[in-house]
Structure 1
Amino acid sequence: MTTRTDLSASPPIDSREDLLAVFSGGEKPRESWRIGTEHEKFVYRTADHRAPSWDEPGGIRDLLTGLTEYGWQPVEEQGKIIALSGKDGTISLEPAGQLELSGAPLATLHETCAEAGRHLEQVKAVGDRLGLGFLGLGMWPDKTRAELPIMPKGRYAIMLNHMPRVGSLGLDMMLRTCTIQVNLDYASEADMVKKFRVGLALQPVATALFANSPLTEGRPNGYKSFRSHIWEDTDPHRTGMLPFVFDEGFGYERYCDYALDVPMYFVFRDGKYIDCAGESFRAFLDGKLPQLPGERPTVSDFTDHLSTAFPEVRLKSFLEMRGADGGRWGRICALPALWVGLLYDHGALDAAWDLCRHWSIEEREQLRHDVPRMALDAPVPGGGTVRDLAAKVVDIAASGLTARAALNGAGDNEGGFLDPLRDVVATGITPADRLLNWFKGEWNGDVSHVYEELSF
């Protein structure tokens, strides 16, 4: 989740145009489009597989402190190190100590994959010294909520308190899941709309290809991506497929209205998070927020608020693709490859839209509902399965990457980063299927083997 690293003063919001400028201000010419890759991993003690707390010796605090040896700068909240900033982006903590790299905006997949490699080398080096390992999955396969620590971040305390009021699985989302995401640019409002629609409609394909969370508390949970299912019962006010995105006339205005109707979590003031859970940002705009009577929000307050909506695709000053489970190194590179191939080439974007443009709201919702359990076997509108659709989607992405012609020093284009997805399509075996096969076969129901097979 978003970690605030810029504490500089922010201008007040004086008009609706100030809100819309957050979105329009993200518009960039094609040559300036960048790729921002985010990936999370679980941290565990190698001695006993326990999730370490923030303050224990050799725990999360010491991990962050150790990473400063590589030039990362500490970010503190109330005197406690809770994140790092550097040339490769931001390293931050999820609520139970999941470690996230929010990578820098980079021009090519070659660069973003190299960035991921640097990060993993660094965390493994520090982890080896501290007796820590890192696990690439979409959900803790063996931990109960009660076994997990809580990180000292003010926004998380507010969210942990609020989540049980609005859904039954929100605490699992916060404490027991990991994801890979990619942030992408747009040239104009119309370009944003088309990318948003393709991203939303085809997000279940990414969920199926990256499905990697079939175990909970040491047993199969009945899903291929339980992480994705969790979002169906987290908070209906801030999650889902956003059917209005497909309405005629959709654009910045409509998404702004959606964001303003998402209930608030907090306001950040003087280094502290003020609990405003359930309050209205519209009331805040009118100076009627009970926690700050008479005070009106700044642009930073609005950008903070945008980070508390969790739809399958999210708009800020860029678009976030949010449907994939966490995974190991090759999948960290494959997720941005999929979406860059689909969305950053006009021909590929048109072809991708042709696959899904005629689906009804009900068909999109049904696909979103079926995929967490069935993954590649889920039926798609018009016939066939997600595996059939995924084959077409990956081919279109490959054509888009070929058209980009972004070559590395050896003369290779970016298409090779799709290889893990080509393998899933060819075999019909997702990471979740492989994990279940191990669990039921050679592991003989002993989930502890996951630490040998799926650590970085």
Structure 2
Amino acid sequence: MADSGTSAPIESKADLIEALSSGSKPKSDWRVGTEHEKFVFYADSLGPVPYEGENGIGALLDGVAKKTGWSPLYDRDKVIGLTDTRTGASISLEPGGQFELSGAALSNLHDTCSETHRHLTVLREVADPMGIKFLGIGVTPDWAVTDIPVMPKSRYGIMAPYMREVGTLGTSMMFRSCTVQANLDFSSEADMVKKLRVSLALQPIATALFANSPFVDGKPSGFLSFRSQIWLHTDPDRTGMLPFAFEEGMSFERYVDYALDVPMYFVIRNGQYVNCAGESFRAFLRGELPQLPGEKPLKRDWEDHLSTIFPEVRLKRFLEMRGADCGPWEEICALPALWTGLLYDEDSLEGAWDLVKDWTAEERWQLRKDVPVKALETEFRDGTVHDLTRLVLPLAQAGLERRNLRNWEDMDETMHLAPLRRVVETGKTQAERLLDCYHGPWEGDIKRVYAVAAY
């Protein structure tokens, strides 16, 4: 756990803006980062893995550290993550023990896919002798929130009670959901704004393509992406489609103003979390935070605060695509492939903007609300989301073709779109394939998903 006390002070609002604008970089320096979470379960009981014990999450982290040489990260005296000091990649724990790889910033999708392969291979080598496996799905199929052991991370002890106050499914988000995310760069404020608008508008299309959470509490949930539905009932102050991003004058400063109005969770001082749930960062800027009277924020406090905001696309020093369920191994690489193809090629970005620029705020929000239920069959204007994917995927394909970055087999990055081409061609999401199994050969036995969806 980093201590905010080692960070520089914030002198003005300009420092907050600079924390975002400093991410601007020339196209030659653009990179791709991929984050993915997975559930950890015991192979014999199919139950969640606690932190403690010789075959617990803590021991698993220790085993991975020995295998990789990555350095441990601590919360008090507990190892709660690992970091690769050479590349910046890290492993962290979500509240319910979900293992998250935050990958390094890499120059191409082939390297991203290799990174994922190495990571999952190491996990298998360490976890198999412990009787532990990993599940690639968006929501736990049959674990209740109360079934899931809580990880020893102080921030979650602050977040969980607050989540119960501001939404109905916030703890489900924390303890029984998993996602895959892609992080991409921008060159300037104008480039950031255009990419933010395109990716916000198209985030529901990504949700549909990657829908993979059809079960909850041991039965079909009625949703193809229940994970996406969970976010609609988590915390309206820090989630959503950011309609202001489409207004005239959108800028880094406008996002800062938005972030300042999102209630705080915590501040870290002397290695301890100070509970500030519901407090105002604006008051903190004035030295009026009740928990730290007279004290003003440090730059690390602002970075921590930005990390507790959860819109469909999050702005930091890069853009985070947050709309996809965790899925099969090959789909982990497909998400950054989709967004890299759309956002890193000028012609594809312009084509995507042409597609979405006349969508209204009401239409974007309706898409967001409807997609968790019907995914590809969600109605939009005179067609469906499936029709939209037939326009979006070729744009991504063309963007990757023009990048023309090839692996050792002389294959370009379009190879990583293969799982999405299958979804578009068949009109069937991974969630619907699982439901077909549940209603067919599984004969309603939800436990069968642990074999089918395990890494």
TM-score, L = length of structure 1: 0.98
CA distance in 1, matches of 2:270, 2:119: 31
Name the structure 2 match of 1:407.
Answer: 406
Could you tell me how far 1:263 is from its partner in structure 2? Answer: 0.1
Deviations 1:402-423 (A, max 9, x none): 1111111221110010000000
Aligned partner letter, 2:76? Q
**Is 1:27–2:24 an aligned residue pair?**
yes
CA distance in 2, matches of 1:31, 1:200: 24
Aligned partner letter, 2:35? E
Could you tell me how far 1:56 is from its partner in structure 2? Answer: 2.2
Would you identify which runs of 4 or more consecutive aligned residues in structure 1 move more than 6 Å?
Answer: none
Deviations 1:83-120 (A, max 9, x none): 00014500000000000000000000000000000000
Aligned partner letter, 1:61? G
Aligned partner letter, 1:178? C
User: Does structure 1 conserve the Cα–Cα contact (< 8 Å) formed by 2:38 and 2:98?
Assistant: yes
Name the structure 2 match of 1:120.
Answer: 120
Name the structure 2 match of 1:314.
Answer: 314
CA distance in 2, matches of 1:33, 1:244: 26
Name the structure 2 match of 1:51.
Answer: 48
Aligned partner letter, 1:238? R
Could you tell me how far 1:6 is from its partner in structure 2? Answer: 7.2
Aligned partner letter, 1:66? G
CA distance in 2, matches of 1:257, 1:123: 41
Deviations 1:417-446 (A, max 9, x none): 000000000001101000100001000000
Deviations 1:146-201 (A, max 9, x none): 11000000101100111010000000000000000011000000000000000000
Could you tell me how far 1:76 is from its partner in structure 2? Answer: 0.8
Q: Secondary structure at the match of 1:168?
A: coil
Name the structure 1 match of 2:240.
Answer: 240
Could you tell me how far 1:134 is from its partner in structure 2? Answer: 0.3
Q: Secondary structure at the match of 2:203?
A: helix
CA distance in 1, matches of 2:390, 2:154: 43
Change in CA separation of 1:137 and 1:122 when aligned onto 2, cut-off 3 Å? same
Aligned partner letter, 2:443? N
Name the structure 2 match of 1:328.
Answer: 328
Aligned partner letter, 2:256? C
CA distance in 1, matches of 2:182, 2:54: 33
Could you tell me how far 1:370 is from its partner in structure 2? Answer: 0.5
Name the structure 2 match of 1:66.
Answer: 63
Q: Percent identity?
A: 55
- Over aligned residue pairs, what C-alpha RMSD do you find? 0.9
**Is 1:17–2:14 an aligned residue pair?**
yes
- The equivalences for 1:148-297 within 5 A come to 148-297=148-297
- Between Structure 1 and Structure 2, how many residues are aligned? 452
CA distance in 2, matches of 1:249, 1:286: 26
Aligned partner letter, 2:65? T
**Is 1:110–2:134 an aligned residue pair?**
no
CA distance in 1, matches of 2:147, 2:164: 18
CA distance in 2, matches of 1:146, 1:165: 17
Deviations 1:17-37 (A, max 9, x none): 100101110001000000010
Could you tell me how far 1:392 is from its partner in structure 2? Answer: 1.0
Could you tell me how far 1:57 is from its partner in structure 2? Answer: 2.2
Name the structure 1 match of 2:426.
Answer: 427
Name the structure 1 match of 2:303.
Answer: 303
Name the structure 2 match of 1:366.
Answer: 366
Name the structure 2 match of 1:357.
Answer: 357
Name the structure 1 match of 2:76.
Answer: 78
User: Does structure 1 conserve the Cα–Cα contact (< 8 Å) formed by 2:103 and 2:115?
Assistant: yes
CA distance in 1, matches of 2:140, 2:41: 10
User: Does structure 1 conserve the Cα–Cα contact (< 8 Å) formed by 2:3 and 2:271?
Assistant: no
CA distance in 2, matches of 1:328, 1:149: 24
Stretches of structure 1 lacking an aligned partner (at least 5 in a row)? none
CA distance in 1, matches of 2:368, 2:96: 27
Q: Secondary structure at the match of 1:407?
A: coil
TM-score, L = length of structure 2: 0.98
Aligned partner letter, 1:32? D
User: Does structure 1 conserve the Cα–Cα contact (< 8 Å) formed by 2:3 and 2:270?
Assistant: no
Deviating more after overlay: 18-27 vs 382-391: 382-391
CA distance in 1, matches of 2:9, 2:188: 25
